[in-house]
Amino acid sequence: MTTSRRRVLKRGSAIAAVAGAGVLALAGPAFAHVTVDPTSAAKGSYSTISFKVPNEEEGVDTTKVQVFFPADEPLASVETQPVAGWTTTVTKVKLAKPLTTDDGQVTEAVSSITWSGGHLAPGQFQQFPVSMGPLPANAGSLTFKALQTYGKNQIVRWIDIARPGAAEPAHPAPTLTLTAADAASGPASSASPAAATAPAQASAAAGKGGDTTARVLGVVGIVLGAAGVGYGVLAGRRRSGGTAA
């Protein structure tokens, strides 16, 4: 191999290595964010939102996750789902102004939820589901600041607020986008089971009626066909008898 060719190969290998390192550097932070799933929900609805926590650190487990609820948009109802291997602690605060609901007034709201005691290994992720609502009708989003603890005392603070038109912060806080309620789906979703199944039952009945009619016509056709064959045989015998006479 000539010297010039060796130099070309070495340069190509170096460029490939740099390009690969750039991809890893970009991919790492993108996948390491703590996020909400789904990322959007309808205003005024009750939704189950999962806080998705990945572990992109090497050689250390995530051992605790804290999520803080926005104080300016308190939620009347917040319920957690048990997560195997993790202990859930819900912290509430008294509200200066009670919330009015169909069940009466709510005087306190959840301020934070902590999941601890578990171990999330590197390269894995864990979802922490929370049912919440009704979601604010006059807000465009809800921001949940979060703290992710690695080992005993290494804390990553997911508390940066993303601004429209600005570059994404290094540690963005999980944000739930609130969308307008779909008015068209309201009546359909609130229809009673009996009303919803009536068209299907009518269609099934019509289908059964059509099958019955087809069967009757088929039987009649077979009978008429058999009668025609019998008549033809009888007529042939009569002709044969007349010729012999």
pLDDT at position 189:
36
Of 137, 177, 144, 178, nearest in space to 161 by CA: 144
Q: How many CB atoms lie within 10 A of CB 34?
A: 24
Stretches in the chain below the pLDDT threshold 70:
1-31, 183-245
pLDDT at position 163:
87
How many Cα atoms occupy the beta-carbon half-sphere of 172 within 13 Å?
A: 18
The four Cα atoms 201, 195, 137, 44 give a dihedral, to 10 degrees, of -70
pLDDT at position 162:
85
pLDDT at position 215:
56
The span from the CA of 177 to the CA of 166, in Å, is 17
CATH fold label, 32-181: Immunoglobulin-like (2.60.40)
Structure tokens that stand for 13 in this block: 């290998």
**DSSP-assigned beta bridge partners for residue 66:** 114, 147
pLDDT for 136-170, tens place per residue? 999 999 999 999 999 988 999 999 998 888 899 99
CB 68 within 8 A of CB 145: yes
Q: 3-state secondary structure string, 201-227?
A: HHHHHHHHHHHHHHHHHHHHHHHHHHH
**Any idea where the domains of the chain sit in the sequence?**
32-181
pLDDT at position 32:
74
Structure tokens that stand for 151 in this block: 């080992």
Of 133, 131, 128, nearest in space to 103 by CA: 133
CB 43 within 8 A of CB 178: yes
Q: How many CB atoms lie within 10 A of CB 178?
A: 21
pLDDT at position 182:
74
pLDDT at position 236:
53
The span from the CA of 136 to the CA of 128, in Å, is 21
The span from the CA of 4 to the CA of 54, in Å, is 47
pLDDT at position 211:
53
Which phi and psi (to 5°) does residue 104 adopt? 120, -165
Q: In degrees, to the nearest 5, what angle opens at C-alpha 146 toward C-alphas 144 and 152?
A: 165
Q: What is the pTM for the complete model shown?
A: 0.63
CB 131 within 8 A of CB 79: yes
